[in-house]
Amino acid sequence: MKRLSVKELLQATRCGETVEVSGWVRTRRGSKQVNFIALNDGSTIHNIQVVAETGSFPEELLKRITTGAALHVKGELVESAGSGQATEIQARELTVLGDADPEKYPIQPKKHSLEFLRDNAHLRFRTNIFGAVFRVRHAMAFAIHDYFNAHGFYYLHSPLITASDAEGAGEMFRVTTLDALHPPLTSDGKVDYRQDFFGKATNLTVSGQLEGELAAMAMGKVYTFGPTFRAENSNTTRHLAEFWMVEPEVAFYDIHDNMDLAEDFLKYLIRYALDHCMDDLLYLERRLQEEEKDRKAGERSMNLIEKLQFVLENSFERLSYTEAFDLLARCKANKSGKFQYPVDRWGVDLQSEHERYLVEKHFKKPVILTDYPAEIKAFYMKQNPDGKTVAAMDVLFPQTGEIIGGSQREEDLDKLLRRMNETGLPVDSMSWYLDTRRFGSAVHSGFGLGFERLLLFVTGMSNIRDVIPFPRTPKNAEF
Ligand code: 4AD
Ligand code: MG
């Protein structure tokens, strides 16, 4: 007999059949007559109810059916008499596959804090909330490939080990096989990376963009989707040291095409979540409502699903950094000193508090900010004719702040070289990158979507550590 998943069993098309299912016990409630076992196998947020007559099974066996135990059930699928589920299983055979000692098993049927579950990340998959989050994560990854494939993009695998710093921010993890205690030294006392594995100093990549550009300048439309690594020491709810980034890169696209792509892409992903993950989203929404119950009506945020629909229905507000700067400089929050970082000089980098003000307070919808000061953006961005700004575009979302960062790229060799020299980038070792500008150069653009930032928005979770299975953050690489 074929074992069925809980998801299949709940579809109620097999009532009357003998079925088999395996899963983990969520709860067991027992009386003298009957036991109700809630069984979950991860295929859906919902449990199947297993009904076992107390007298038909040895007491010793029933006692072992505790929260967390792995259980195999054979029985008859019947229409449920109780409310809340369409079908249930009338058990004929119960086999405990693996016990979970209630004295020792950390995940009990009560509300655990997210902090506690983070410390038990190896077991948190077994909770409703993390089951929901990671099913949504899967669906979003799948939808990303789906979108690009349908739009004529090719999936490019960019390298994880690289000798270049794509963002020029110097926040990289070194990759080396040299002896940390006794590295070979050059005559002037520096570590001699010529003797290292790759014959030069290498790092984990911060972005696949530079390689993406090489491919786009031949294949037209490409995207990367892989892990990226940043050794920035920011212990925030929005930063990871290892996160996944999606980076489309398109030849002959200018910044406006790029913005259209970003907006269409994000809306597709949100629509996909609503179409394919409603059970999990409803669960996550209820959880958020529960959390907000004690807040005053005015302080409550939009319901999760309402918020997702709202983003779908409204076009993103597009404005330049300079327009945003004027708006922020004049706003009440700035004048009354409510911002931790005052907006007092054109050229300041915008902080998450400013981004959130624009999105949540002022426009009340996603915002695309363009044309940032060159000084605060990466070397490769297209230099605008004003000589001060570059054709950058950041997409800002409620709660999350920056979800996408991108730009039109500088395709003019001389201008790019000048900028690289100004910012002290090693022009010689990046000659391969410059060849795209030497031979057949053309307008092109791209962006990077932080996959976990997208998930924060879609799931309504508030800490980025809770949307990646095993978070890597400063001083934390457990599991
Ligand atoms: O804005 P960023 O640094 O842009 C780039 O890396 C470009 N090379 C992308 C491109 O144009 N192809 O990063 C892109 C996005 C950010 O908007 C943010 O969503 C996410 O990556 N991100 C992080 N997510 C989690 N933890 C971190 N430490 C992140 N740093 C950036
Ligand atoms: Mg950025």
**437-477 pLDDT tens trace:** 999 999 999 999 999 999 999 999 999 999 999 999 999 99
Ligand 1 probe mutation, 223, 243, 408, most atoms within 8 A of CB: 243
- Amino acid identity for residue 408 in this structure: Q
Per the document, the length of the chain is 479
According to the CATH classification, is domain 126-171+206-466 in 3.30.930.10?
yes
* Atom of ligand 1 minimally distant from the CA of 241: 28
Q: Pairing relation of β-strands 154-155 and 221-229? A: parallel
The answer, yes or no, to whether residue 298 has pLDDT greater than 70, is no
* Atom of ligand 1 minimally distant from the CA of 239: 26
Return residues with CB closer than 5 A to ligand 2 (ion): 405
The answer, yes or no, to whether residue 252 has pLDDT greater than 90, is yes
* Atom of ligand 1 minimally distant from the CA of 169: 3
Nearest residue by C-alpha to atom 7 in ligand 1: 448
pLDDT value of residue 297: 67
Find the 136 Cα to ligand 1 centroid distance in Å. Answer: 21
Name the residue with tokens 């070979």: 184
Find the 260 Cα to ligand 1 centroid distance in Å. Answer: 19
Ligand 1 shell residues, CB under 6 Å? 166-167, 207, 209, 230, 232, 239-240, 243, 245, 247, 402-406, 446-448, 450, 452-453
pLDDT value of residue 338: 94
pLDDT value of residue 300: 67
pLDDT value of residue 15: 87
Nearest residue by C-alpha to atom 28 in ligand 1: 239
* Atom of ligand 1 minimally distant from the CA of 245: 21
pLDDT digits (tens, 9 = 90+) for 133-143: 999 999 999 99
Nearest residue by C-alpha to atom 20 in ligand 1: 450
Please give the full DSSP string across 51-93, using - where no structure is assigned. EEEGGGS-HHHHHT--TT-EEEEEEEEEE-SSTT-SEEEEEEE
Ligand 1 probe mutation, 171, 228, 244, 245, most atoms within 8 A of CB: 245
Given a contact cutoff of 8 angstroms between Cβ atoms, the answer to whether 52 and 35 are in contact is yes
pLDDT value of residue 28: 96
Find the 206 Cα to ligand 1 centroid distance in Å. Answer: 8
pLDDT value of residue 293: 82
What average pLDDT does the segment 418-435 reach?
94
pLDDT value of residue 233: 86
Find the 54 Cα to ligand 2 centroid distance in Å. Answer: 60
Nearest residue by C-alpha to atom 2 in ligand 1: 405
Find the 437 Cα to ligand 2 centroid distance in Å. Answer: 24
- Amino acid identity for residue 264 in this structure: D
pLDDT value of residue 44: 97
* Atom of ligand 1 minimally distant from the CA of 464: 25
What average pLDDT does the segment 170-179 reach?
94
pLDDT digits (tens, 9 = 90+) for 310-364: 999 999 999 999 999 999 999 999 999 999 999 999 999 999 999 999 999 999 9
Q: In the structure, how many helices (H) and strands (E) does the chain have?
A: 14, 16
Domain boundaries, the chain: 6-106, 126-171+206-466
Q: Give the separation between CA 313 and CA 139, rounded to whole angstroms.
A: 21
Closest ligand by atom to 403 CA: 1
Closest ligand by atom to 238 CA: 1
Find the 223 Cα to ligand 1 centroid distance in Å. Answer: 14
Q: Give the separation between CA 224 and CA 246, rounded to whole angstroms.
A: 6
Q: Pairing relation of β-strands 221-229 and 174-175? A: unpaired
* Atom of ligand 1 minimally distant from the CA of 209: 12
Is residue 378 exposed (0-12), middle (13-18) or buried (19+ Cβ within 10 Å)? buried
pTM value > 0.75: yes
Closest ligand by atom to 376 CA: 2
Find the 355 Cα to ligand 2 centroid distance in Å. Answer: 12
pLDDT digits (tens, 9 = 90+) for 19-76: 999 999 999 998 899 999 999 999 999 999 999 999 999 999 999 999 999 999 999 9
The answer, yes or no, to whether residue 295 has pLDDT greater than 80, is no
What average pLDDT does the segment 104-126 reach?
94
Given a contact cutoff of 8 angstroms between Cβ atoms, the answer to whether 20 and 72 are in contact is yes
Q: Which DSSP letter does residue 359 get?
A: I
Lookup: tokens for 122: 């190896």
Find the 408 Cα to ligand 2 centroid distance in Å. Answer: 14
pLDDT value of residue 348: 95
Question: 6-106: what fold?
Answer: OB fold (Dihydrolipoamide Acetyltransferase, E2P) (2.40.50)
Closest ligand by atom to 239 CA: 1
pLDDT value of residue 460: 96
Nearest residue by C-alpha to atom 9 in ligand 1: 448
What average pLDDT does the segment 78-102 reach?
91
The answer, yes or no, to whether residue 431 has pLDDT greater than 70, is yes
* Atom of ligand 1 minimally distant from the CA of 406: 11
Nearest residue by C-alpha to atom 4 in ligand 1: 405
Find the 127 Cα to ligand 1 centroid distance in Å. Answer: 30
Q: Give the separation between CA 411 and CA 438, rounded to whole angstroms.
A: 9
pLDDT value of residue 299: 66
Find the 342 Cα to ligand 1 centroid distance in Å. Answer: 24
